[in-house]
């Protein structure tokens, strides 16, 4: 039996004995991850290649990590392997509980508290994001993952590649991306069709905007006329197209701002988005330095 299959069986047995209590799953997952020695991640993939549930992957290409693979997916939990080559994570919480283990590389790991939370919309929160822990985590580090605001973090990878193995319960709620220093919004994962449309239209902008800007704008409006401004706003910030274009992003901003600018919070969110990008750039420039 492969190491992953054996791990799945052991975790399933341990959790079933606890009545599949969701509150106990992070401890059970973390304990078993600490006890289990996993081979080189590439050997792990090679071993699992013919058993991987390719038709039930948790992540599409480019949505999370550079190379995300779902190794196990059953009715109670899944196990993903994330290979990080260039990408870093956003500041985010989680719609599941579980634990992850670093199999290769090292990362700067920041944990946050989100205080004084006020709901502006059902999908938008205002609060205060504060760093509560900043450390470098390395191979064999195991981290518990708890639900929602109780565990907010960001991972900046110091080595390329960095590889993590994560065990996670089935999704039980929405999750939030956080905009430093004070907003959080629901992460809306685009349907694959919408993501492809966004990428195709943005590539069209790259090649044709200078010679035919009017048609580019019409194409954009026609493509997303059935999508609400809120969903377009969230999708465009959370998931950038494969072929980014400054002209496309400006046109997209104009498209959804025509509807969203009526909300009192819109300008504040836009300004804080700029602060957030500056903050991320600062964090990246301090890679490896623990504050």
Each residue's pLDDT tens digit, 224-266: 888 888 888 888 877 777 777 889 988 988 888 888 988 999 9
11 with 137, same domain: the answer is yes
Tell me whether residue 119 is in a domain.
Answer: yes
pLDDT at 177: 93
Residue that is last in its domain, among 155, 186, 217: 186
Tell me whether residue 18 is in a domain.
Answer: yes
Residue 117 sits in which domain range? Answer: 3-186
Q: What percent of the chain has pLDDT over 90?
A: 55
pLDDT at 42: 80
Does the pLDDT of residue 290 top 70, yes or no? Answer: no
Sheet containing 124-138, strands listed edge to edge, beginning at the edge strand earlier in sequence: 152-157, 106-121, 124-138, 183-186, 176-179
Query: Residue 174 burial by CB count (10 A; 0-12/13-18/19+): exposed, middle or buried?
Result: middle
pLDDT band at 1 (very low <50, low <70, confident <90, very high): very low
Look over the chain and give the mean of its residue pLDDT values, rounded to a whole number.
88
Residue 89, domain CATH: 2.60.120.10
User: What's the predicted TM-score (pTM) here?
Assistant: 0.87
Rounded Cα gap, residues 150 and 147, in angstroms: 6
pLDDT band at 291 (very low <50, low <70, confident <90, very high): very low
Q: How many domains does the chain have?
A: 2
Q: Please state which of the ranges 25-34, 89-98, 181-190, 262-271 shows the lowest mean pLDDT.
A: 181-190
pLDDT band at 146 (very low <50, low <70, confident <90, very high): very high
pLDDT at 50: 67
The residue with greater pLDDT, 215 or 87, is 215
Q: What percent of the chain has pLDDT over 70?
A: 92
Tell me whether residue 290 is in a domain.
Answer: no
Tell me whether residue 108 is in a domain.
Answer: yes
> What are the structure tokens assigned to 51, written together?
């058993």
């Amino acid at each position: 039996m492969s190491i992953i299959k054996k791990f799945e069986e052991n975790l399933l047995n341990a959790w079933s004995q606890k009545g599949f209590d969701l509150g106990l799953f992070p401890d059970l997952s973390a304990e078993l991850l600490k006890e289990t020695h996993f081979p080189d991640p590439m050997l792990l993939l090679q071993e699992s290649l013919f058993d991987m549930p390719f038709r039930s992957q948790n992540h599409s290409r480019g949505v999370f990590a550079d190379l995300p693979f779902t190794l196990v997916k059953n009715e109670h939990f899944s196990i993903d392997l994330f290979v990080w080559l260039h990408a870093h994570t956003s500041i985010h919480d989680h719609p599941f509980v579980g634990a992850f283990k670093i199999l290769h590389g090292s990362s700067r790991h920041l944990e946050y508290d989100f205080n004084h939370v006020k709901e502006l919309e059902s999908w938008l929160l205002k609060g205060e994001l504060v760093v509560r822990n900043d450390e470098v985590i390395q191979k064999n580090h195991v981290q518990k993952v708890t639900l929602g605001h109780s565990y907010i973090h960001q991972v900046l990878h110091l080595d390329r590649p960095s590889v993590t193995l994560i065990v996670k319960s089935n999704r039980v709620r929405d999750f939030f991306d956080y905009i430093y220093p004070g907003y959080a919004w629901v992460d809306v994962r685009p349907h694959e069709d919408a993501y492809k449309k966004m990428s195709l239209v943005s590539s069209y902008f790259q090649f044709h905007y200078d010679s035919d800007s009017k048609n580019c704008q019409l194409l954009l409006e026609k493509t997303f006329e059935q999508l609400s401004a809120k969903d377009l706003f969230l999708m465009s910030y959370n998931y950038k197209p494969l072929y980014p274009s400054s002209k496309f992003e400006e046109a997209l901003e104009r498209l959804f701002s025509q509807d969203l600018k009526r909300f009192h919070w819109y300008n504040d969110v836009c300004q804080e988005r700029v602060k957030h990008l500056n903050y991320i750039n600062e964090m990246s420039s301090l890679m490896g330095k623990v504050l």
